[in-house]
Amino acid sequence: MTQTKQLVHRVIIKATIQQVWDALTKEGEVLPFFFGSVMHTTGLKPGAQLRMRTPNGKYTGVVGEILECNPPYRFI
């Protein structure tokens, strides 16, 4: 019988839920925790387009769609 190993990683952030939400959903500002990218969206709602770009806007590293948004608890 093969056992699967599980890795658990925990991050503790000394901030309120609202402060974390505000930091994660800032548009147009450099996000140091996301490799210095800038988030651009068509709105924080399901179905909205999301792009993570370099600060100068020349390169796009992530393109996606917001699936769920329930401030300040859930952002998928």
- Provide the residue ranges of all domains of the chain, joining segments of one domain with +: 28-75
For 26-71, write each residue's pLDDT tens digit. 998 898 888 899 999 999 999 999 999 999 989 999 999 999 999 9
Residue 72's CB: how many other CB atoms inside 10 A?
Answer: 14
Is residue 12 pLDDT above 80, yes or no? Answer: yes
Is residue 1 pLDDT above 80, yes or no?
no
Sequence-distant contacts of 7-16: CB under 8 A, at least 24 apart? none
Query: Which residues, in sequence order, are CB contacts of 72 under 8 Å at separation 6+?
Result: 17, 18, 20, 21, 22
Q: How confident is the model at residue 74 (pLDDT cuts 50, 70, 90)?
A: very high
27 neighbors 40 (Cβ within 8 angstroms): yes
Q: What pLDDT score does 20 carry?
A: 92
Q: Looking at residue 32, what is its pLDDT? A: 87
Query: How far is 43 from 66, CA to CA, in rounded Å?
Result: 9
